Structure 1
Amino acid sequence: MKDKVVVITGGATGIGYALAKTFGADGAKIVIAEPREHRMEEACEMLGELGVDARWTVCDVTDLESVEKLAHFTWGQHGRCDVLINNAGIGLREKRLPDTPMEDAHRIMDVNFWGVWRGCRVFGNRMKEQGSPAMIYNTGSENSFFCASTGAAYIASKHAVLGLTEMFRQQVPNYITVGLIIPGWVASELNPQFNEHVMPADDFAAIIYPQIKAGERFVVSHAYNVVRIDERMDALRAAYAKYAPRYEGDEEYDVKVLVGRLKDRGLI
């Protein structure tokens, strides 16, 4: 990562800051972005004391123009971007789904999902024009695969980030790597009262950093997650075995197979 330019949204605290330290220690030039100027100033000062080239700019990922300004700042400062970590995210104290105020649900989706969408859109286009190897990693969650928490909007937002990431990775040129970071419960400002009980952010960054450098599709950490994932997958496989078992020629209605056939016939 020597002299690579790494942009991290939500980079002043928690997972974002831990990744900024880890990339920076490996020689990367860091740009952190979020709305809180004082937190970014503090983060960049601490990164500077560690010998990291770190700069900051205000960015609200709920605003497309603000994300475009982040890209303009990055290219203006460094002339390029090699890695984008779409990490900005929020969590609110959600009530039962029917009791959750719609403005709260929309706010969570706007930051956690649409914020990632905007980052992929703006930086994806710039990286495509740049034409050199680059990476975009989106911060999902164990909640992208099962319900680890109780907030419906939060869980829905992280499930949505999984789908976005999987589709986006099929749409970019092969010199752009797209992947999903899948944290379990990591110390952050989302639930600071529990931080002494959960995985420290620096430990998490140390686990996932080699995976990012290797260009892995899924970047994982909390080993027990596979038990929860298997619970859902086992229930899904059981449903198929009972009500839609495999049969000879069952690919006849498979979407990808059908699309291929329709393309061959010039229908799409």
Structure 2
Amino acid sequence: MTVLAVGAAVITGGVSGIGLAVAGELGRRGAKVLLADLPGERLEAAVSALTDEGINACGQACDVSDLAQVEALAQAAFARFGDVGLVFNNAGVSGPRGKLWEIDPAAAKAHFDINFWGVWNGCRAFAPRLAAQASPSAIYNTGSENSLFCALPHTAAYIAAKHAVLGMTESLRGDLPSHVHAGLVIPGWVHTAIGPDAVMRNGMDVARFAEIIVPQMLARQRFVVAHAYNVVRMHERIDALDTAYAAHAPRYDGDEEYDVLTTIARLRAAREAG
């Protein structure tokens, strides 16, 4: 197993919650950390809290929904650190609540600007720079248990964005050279400020969550997980899919005839042989 040596990390949504906890965990392991978040006292306070702990930390104001600001963040990170070992596209918000047809489409689109396009922007800005550097690196995107199943009622925009982040991250993996890894962090219920504290405080302690996931990130795992019961909810969907296929599209000899990846591999092999 290859363990990633992170000299420097960039973390969006870094002023609180999972972002700040991961920054602290990485910093205590010797990494330099650049926190990116909206401008203001919270960003300054987060950087101060880390530096008071002896961590080499700095901050940069960045609205992840604005590609130009994310490009500026990437440029500043590489100018400051030279190489970047880990990029954590973590910024996100909770999103509008209500039945899908009751949600203002403008609010849903604004939510996607942060929870999906903010992650896309981070990948777009950092991926080519990481590919160009010689040292190994990783891009991690924050998904959710809601990338795998619907954990919350009346949150269609949030759930759709988190499903989209899963698909985007999986696609990104195939675009990257071997020395750049892409993976998905899949939080379950964690005590952060993304929801009302009376509810969120029943979740896993965020420092404990960071302790669990950072070793997985450094080990360049494809999926980074912490909440065991998610498997039960995940298989409710998988089992339903298995049932549907068994009933209406059962396996048969030669059924790979319509498999896209198999066909692409066969055509590539034929082209290389010819």
TM-score normalised by the chain length of structure 2: 0.94
Determine if the alignment matches structure 1 residue 217 to structure 2 residue 222.
Answer: yes
CA distance in 2, matches of 1:32, 1:25: 15
* Aligned ranges 1:38-187 → 2 under 5 Å: 38-150=41-153, 151-187=155-191
Unaligned runs of 5+ in 2: none
- SS at 1:177 equivalent: strand
Of the structure 1 ranges 119-128 and 190-199, higher mean CA displacement relative to structure 2 is found in 190-199
Write the deviation string for residues 92-124 of structure 1: whole angstroms up to 9, x where unpaired. 241110010111101111111111111111100
The question of whether the paired residues in 2 share the 8 Å contact of 1:2 and 1:27 is answered with no
CA distance in 2, matches of 1:220, 1:36: 30
CA distance in 1, matches of 2:148, 2:5: 34
Runs of 4+, deviation exceeding 4 Å: none
Q: Counterpart amino acid of 2:225?
A: V
- SS at 1:92 equivalent: coil
Describe the shift of the 1:100–1:182 C-alpha distance in structure 2 as closer, same or farther (beyond 3 A).
Answer: same
Displacement after TM superposition at 1:225 (Å): 0.2
- SS at 2:187 equivalent: coil
Displacement after TM superposition at 1:265 (Å): 5.6
- Of 222, 228, 243, the residue aligned with 1:238 is 243
Q: Counterpart amino acid of 1:75?
A: F
Displacement after TM superposition at 1:3 (Å): 6.6
Displacement after TM superposition at 1:264 (Å): 4.8
Displacement after TM superposition at 1:253 (Å): 0.5
Q: What does residue 261 of structure 1 align with? A: 266
The question of whether the paired residues in 1 share the 8 Å contact of 2:130 and 2:180 is answered with yes
Q: What does residue 208 of structure 1 align with? A: 213
The question of whether the paired residues in 2 share the 8 Å contact of 1:2 and 1:26 is answered with no
TM-score normalised by the chain length of structure 1: 0.96
Give the RMSD, CA atoms, in angstroms.
1.3
The question of whether the paired residues in 2 share the 8 Å contact of 1:132 and 1:175 is answered with yes
- SS at 1:197 equivalent: coil
Unaligned runs of 5+ in 1: none
Q: What does residue 9 of structure 1 align with? A: 12
CA distance in 2, matches of 1:162, 1:26: 28
Displacement after TM superposition at 1:263 (Å): 3.8
Q: What does residue 189 of structure 1 align with? A: 193
The question of whether the paired residues in 2 share the 8 Å contact of 1:90 and 1:111 is answered with yes
CA distance in 2, matches of 1:34, 1:212: 21
Q: Counterpart amino acid of 2:255?
A: D
